[in-house]
Each structure stands twice: as structure tokens, then as C-alpha cells.
Amino acid sequence: MAQTGTIYLVGAGPGDPDLLTLRAARLIESARVIVHDGLVDPAILALARGDAQLISVAKRRSHHTLPQEEISELLVRVARSGQDIVRLKGGDPFVFGRGGEEAEVARAAGVAVEVVPGISAANGAAAAAQIALTHRDASSIVSFVAGQCKGLKDQDWAGLAGKGRTLVVYMGVKTAPQIAEKLMEDGLSPDMPVAVIENGTRPDMRVLRGLLAGLPDLVEHEKVVSPALIVIGEVTARDDVALAVAAQEAAR
């Protein structure tokens, strides 16, 4: 009977291949089987060996190549065949990456699993946009929420955004109107500064700024597409941030 392989839950970071960890890069280069998300940059997949089997399990709103349960079953099945397998995820596997679910299934099946953290989308995109998620003069608390999930309107976001706080919304492009409405209903000022970071860390990155009340119009007018993050808080409107990003965009 073949020895059971190991499932590696690997964070691919926010997009730029240079932001991969050494551990992630080595695993990608040596893996014979890689199961990857749709948002993993092609330049990262190009690091794989020529005979590697690349399996896309891309997820899009209301359409999944494979349901999550089948992805987990696939990982276990490959490992039980005796092969190691890399499950490659954008950002970090344990930050809105469903890595926790896949690790639980692997452990329940008696399959070894290793988690290789990656630079999260929030950390990477904010750094590329030169938005400090924390700042002594503007924010001492950071919260991460998913903007695309069941029961969004019924969730309690009170206190997650406001003075001295930064809120980062993942997967919020399609639900930007509901997000803005929800936060304003919870008491957040319509004039709270926001930033939308599209394709963070990649050559075609865009950083769009506005106010909370205008967030839906900003997303629609600029035709923002995923991957994109919404950052809400005073840190997005600091003068030094706006000037630095403007200078970078002018130099392109």
C-alpha cells in the first residue's frame, strides 16, 4: 500500500511573485500536483515544474468549478494515493481562504497537513498602496470582514469602523451598496474616507479614493473588478499617502 502523502496549504500572497515566501516557492517548484485558486497569478503558476499537474478550482460569484466539499475530497484522495499535493491559495490560507476547513477534513481523514502562511491580501495591497492599516495618529484597531457572505445585512458590524479604527472588506465589490448602507445605518459617518485597491501589488493595480456615501458609485463608475479590497478609515485619506501614490502613478 502506498504511503500517504502530505497536503500543503500554501499561501500565494497578494499577487506579485516576489512576495512569495521561500517555503512557498520551493513547494510550488517541486510539487507534482497543484490545486490552485483562480486568483493565483499566472506568473506564480509558471514556477511549477513542467510535468506538474495543475488543477484549477476557481471560484466566482454564484459559480464554483468544484464545490468546497469536493475540493477537500480531492485533496484527501490525491494524498491517499501516495502523492504530496500543494493547495495554492491567494493571500494567506487562513484569512478568508477556507484553509481551516480543508485542514479539518485532512486531519479527520488521517492525512498529514502543513500550512504555509502567505502575505495576506490586506497586508500586501495596503502596503503597495502605502496605506498604513495602523497609525499612531489615526488607527490602533484593524478588523477584517467578508463582504460576500450569507446574512450580510444581519451581521453585527457595530464598532468595527470609525474614529481610530480601520476596516478592511474582502470580496466586497458586488455588495458595495449594501456595505455602505449597513455601515451608515450602524452610525458611521457618510464622510468617512474609503479606498478601493484593485489588483493590489500587481502591475495594473489601481487605488481609488472617496467617501463612504459615494462608495457604490465609485465602484460602479470605475468598473472595479476582483480581486479588490475596500479599506474604510481615516488612514486612507492621510495627505502623505495620497501624495506618495499620486507620485508613483505619475511615474508609470
pLDDT tens, 154-184?
Answer: 788 888 999 999 999 999 999 999 999 999 9
Amino acid code (one letter) for 180: A
Cβ count within 10 A of residue 232: 28
Answer whether 79's CB lies under 8 Å from 7's CB.
Answer: yes
3-state secondary structure of 98: coil
Q: What is the pLDDT of residue 247?
A: 52
Q: N- to C-terminal Cα distance for the chain?
A: 57
* Predicted pLDDT of residue 157: 86
Taking alpha carbons only, the member of 142, 147, 178 closest to residue 160 is 142
Of 188, 250, 235, 249, the residue nearest 213 (C-alpha): 188
CA distance 177 to 220: 10
Whether 27 has a pLDDT exceeding 60, the answer reads yes
Average pLDDT over residues 6-35: 97
**HEC profile for 171-206?**
CCCCCHHHHHHHHHHCCCCCCCEEEEEECCCCCCCE
Retrieve residue 159's grid coordinates. Answer: 464598532
- What is the amino acid identity at position 134? T
pLDDT in tens, 209-222: 999 999 999 999 99
Confidence (pLDDT) at 84: 97
Residues involved in catalysis? 37, 59
Angle among Cα 64, 93, 173 to the nearest 5 degrees reads 55
